[in-house]
Structure 1
Amino acid sequence: MSEFSELPGTTDVLIVGGGPAGALLGCLLARRGIDVVVVEKQQDLERSFRGENIAPRSVHTLRELGFGPALDAHGYLSIDSVTAIERGRRLLRLEYGKFPLATLPIDIPQPALIGIFLAAAQAHPSFHLAMGTAFTGLTEHDGAVTGATLRGPGGAATSIRARVVIGADGRFSKVRQRSGLAADITPMARDFLSFKLPRPAGWGDDGYLMIEDDRHLVVLPTWPDFLRIGHNLPKRQLGELRAAGLPAFKAGIASLDPRLADLVEEHITSWEDTSFLEIFTAEMREWARDGLLLIGDASHTCTPILGQGVNLAIQDAVCLAPVLAGALSRGGDRPLPAATFDGYVAMRRRHKTTVTRYQRFQEGALAEKHPVKLFIRRVRFATLNQLPLKYRLLDRVVNAAHPIDPVDIAAGAPALVPSVRSGQR
């Protein structure tokens, strides 16, 4: 890890944001010998994340890239299935082993996953990482982005010149705000409140969607021995929920899933035990301009349905690395033209559009209140459950294939075991 004062004044690629997209992209570029700087505003990885479920396709990708030994060394939880239940009646069950890929999704703390990427990257001298370093603005010349200004611990300021700045700083991206690129932010009808509970012995490795009219819980087993619970609430109603009191909130959870009643009563003792997530999508006509590209949630924010945010981030990094490497190999010191990324953006946009279309359809179905529409929802779920092709239909969303450059596969052998603190919980 580099000290803020040791950061180079010039680099090929400056990545703002040390989440899954930024950390993995930085690692893949460093493996190729490309000069790359990753800056992350947080001082360390010791923080809570909600998106810690890695989809089967992403698990397969990470193993192809050589991260399998590090994942195994840390440990994770494999999820066998997810079942939708409405008022005690099973509507739909998906067993991950029956999907065409036949790989199980895993749950691993996101700080640990990021730590694995960063540890592998730091084995390469062309990689620089500065924690506790905030992005403050873009530098520009003749309409092109030429780098960024940064603020380090204690308020120290510096700037780094780069051939391309990658905005990987999440759903509330400061790089996006400063880029001048327009984003269409669409609030969803509901938001989410999440919390963790100890996982009872004998619970198993199965996830559940518990439904009652327009209310639902997502219940997922979480490494090493927790349950992660996501509970929907109407838009801008967090204040009203809290005003009704914690006992009423806990009673509502218990009514959706009686198995959780005693756990909620014992372990949710204040609102501090819960975490609020505002749900919206962000659509952008342009993801790039000369010298700048947005990736991950910064360019295509999704809803939590199917937990696709972290998986889209991983896929973005894997697909982008060879594009950047090819463009930088042509030499020069000018900012990379926006057209460099046209093919990459078109490919990733197609997949993201498929995911978002499904998420909006699913969110609309779960938010229904009218009795007739509730009946139609039950029929749809039950019909899908009976279709042998349900795994192939949903595979397009959950496990869509993406290219992996053979150079990145070769560079990942042998993989490195992480040395960065992983924030295990």
Structure 2
Amino acid sequence: MSAVEETDVLIVGGGPAGALLGFLLARRGIGVIVVEKQTSLERDFRGETVAAPSVVTLRRLGFGPALDAHGFLRTEGVTMRMEGRRVMHVDYRRFALGEVPVDIPQPALIAMFSDAAAEFPTFEYRFGTSFTGLLRDGDAVTGARLRRRDGSTSEVRARLVVGADGRFSKVRHAAGITADVQHMARDFLSFKLPRPADWGLQAELVVDRDRHLVVLPTFPDFLRVGHNLPKRGLGALRAAGFEPFKAGIMALDPRLAPVVAEHLNSWDDTSFLEIFTAEVPEWTRDGLVLIGDASHTCTPILGQGVNLAIQDAVVIAPVIADALSTAGPVPAAAFTGFVTERRRHKAHVTSFQRLQEKALATGSTPGVLLRRARYRLLDALPLKYRIFGGVLNAPHGIDPADLAVAAGGSRPGLGV
């Protein structure tokens, strides 16, 4: 027979959104259990860039000492090169936030959140625990069924279940919410390389007609390289052979040729990512809410996933706390404002990503010439900082009051 437990909030998914939300709720004295199907955090994450506004938010939440103690890599700007010519450069240090994007391993970031939360008696983070189904009372969600790696099962009854389990969310599926998946024309293959000593701290977008590389400095001393390929084109790429693939990378950016030749040895060194966005028509049920990629999947362009997740957690924490002041499952209506606000911000990000993807997918000679001319013109105008700042540094809708430590819940290093 399954064990039965009770808590205020059950969060399914222990990534950045789930772990940070768990901390924010536990700090308010709310009972919260975070469950994560993986047995540890020691796995590879593709997106590890924390945008400048998110760095500001984390420091105001009190995580500055932990960030500094672990270490991170500052990303000082981005350079775009098209058909062998530099066409644009954005210097992140020119923005007025006082921070630049940083690269830090997501396992370290998640550990910072969960370690801070573990100091509160109402918090628990469980590795190796999978979600298997929702508990219901009529139409209201009242908890979830869980299974550990050893096969044991349990039921956790909660006034709110939070689905923070990513782009293929099982919680979303169990709730009967169908995502409208919109595929991009291309997918991505990524890999890591040692960072050459003279590379600097700039991200690079290297484009040749409809082929491109995204090259990101990665903590502590790597480059993360993303290479586009046609949708459903992985099979053909592999059939053509690994050496032609390597040759294509080196031709796109000859600066990478020495490290590619030495360190990129087989398909096992690469990681495939299917590129799509997902529009989710409903984010809530009575007793349930979706956050992060479970509710608004974005593409990897500009690395917005982890940042949207952090924003979601900070914005929704006070909403949940207020909603728990009344008895019973948290009603879906409690999240109307949250959903409206976050959907608007996500749509802004996605529209910019689609414009970027459309420009990068251009392969015809007239299109390539026009694209290059547009970027060079934009580079010459101060307007580029307003355009990029509108996405990279867009307001999060975070009330400064939401960043204050709950009364009686402060501890050294986590005050504001």
Q: Do they fold alike, i.e. is TM over 0.5?
A: yes
Q: Which has the higher contact order (CA 8 A, sep 6+)?
A: 1
Match of 1:195 among 188, 191, 198: 191
Match of 1:165 among 161, 168, 175: 161
Match of 1:363 among 357, 370, 374: 357
Structure 1 equivalent of residue 297 of structure 2: 301
Give the CA deviation at 1:408. Answer: 3.6
C-alpha contact 1:100 1:395 (8 A) present in aligned 2: no
Describe the SS at the equivalent of 1:410: coil
Describe the SS at the equivalent of 2:35: strand
Distance 1:391 1:238 in 2: 36
Q: Which moved more, 1:143-152 or 1:404-413?
A: 404-413
Q: Does 1:385 pair with 2:383? A: no
Say if 1:96 and 1:8 are closer, same or farther in 2 by CA, change over 3 A: farther
1:369 partner amino acid: G
Deviations 1:264-291 (A, max 9, x none): 1111111110000001100012111111
Structure 2 equivalent of residue 337 of structure 1: 331
Distance 1:231 1:252 in 2: 10
Structure 2 equivalent of residue 414 of structure 1: 412
Say if 1:407 and 1:188 are closer, same or farther in 2 by CA, change over 3 A: closer
Distance 1:224 1:60 in 2: 21
Give the CA deviation at 1:406. Answer: 2.5
1:340 partner amino acid: A
Give the CA deviation at 1:111. Answer: 0.4
Gaps of 5+ in 1: 417-425
Give the CA deviation at 1:202. Answer: 2.2
Deviations 1:103-125 (A, max 9, x none): 21000000000000000000000
Deviations 1:28-77 (A, max 9, x none): 00111100000000000000001100000000000010000000000000
Distance 1:126 1:410 in 2: 16
Match of 1:253 among 249, 254, 274: 249
Distance 1:78 1:363 in 2: 25
C-alpha contact 1:13 1:35 (8 A) present in aligned 2: yes
Give the CA deviation at 1:414. Answer: 2.7
Structure 2 equivalent of residue 230 of structure 1: 226
Matches within 5 A, 1:9-408: 9-328=5-324, 330-332=325-327, 334-402=328-396, 403-406=398-401, 408=403
Say if 1:101 and 1:414 are closer, same or farther in 2 by CA, change over 3 A: same
C-alpha contact 1:66 1:409 (8 A) present in aligned 2: no
Distance 2:78 2:33 in 1: 39
1:353 partner amino acid: A
Distance 2:254 2:399 in 1: 44
Deviations 1:342-366 (A, max 9, x none): 0000000110000000001100110
1:307 partner amino acid: G
C-alpha contact 2:4 2:154 (8 A) present in aligned 1: no
Give the CA deviation at 1:405. Answer: 4.6
C-alpha contact 2:4 2:155 (8 A) present in aligned 1: no
Say if 1:368 and 1:17 are closer, same or farther in 2 by CA, change over 3 A: same
State the identity as a percent: 62
Give the CA deviation at 1:192. Answer: 0.4
Give the CA deviation at 1:233. Answer: 0.4
Distance 1:327 1:237 in 2: 47
Question: Could you state the TM-score of these two structures normalised by the residue count of structure 1?
Answer: 0.94
Distance 1:407 1:125 in 2: 21
Describe the SS at the equivalent of 1:343: helix
Deviations 1:248-270 (A, max 9, x none): 00001001110111111111111
Deviations 1:192-221 (A, max 9, x none): 000000011122111100000000000011
Distance 2:50 2:92 in 1: 12
Describe the SS at the equivalent of 1:155: coil
Give the CA deviation at 1:407. Answer: 5.2
Give the CA deviation at 1:102. Answer: 3.8
Structure 2 equivalent of residue 423 of structure 1: none
Distance 1:400 1:144 in 2: 35
Give the CA deviation at 1:331. Answer: 3.2
Distance 2:198 2:361 in 1: 32
Q: Which moved more, 1:373-382 or 1:346-355?
A: 373-382
Describe the SS at the equivalent of 2:246: helix
Describe the SS at the equivalent of 2:165: coil
Describe the SS at the equivalent of 2:404: helix
Q: Which moved more, 1:96-105 or 1:402-411?
A: 402-411
RMSD: 1.3
Distance 1:408 1:189 in 2: 39
1:13 partner amino acid: V
Give the CA deviation at 1:92. Answer: 0.7
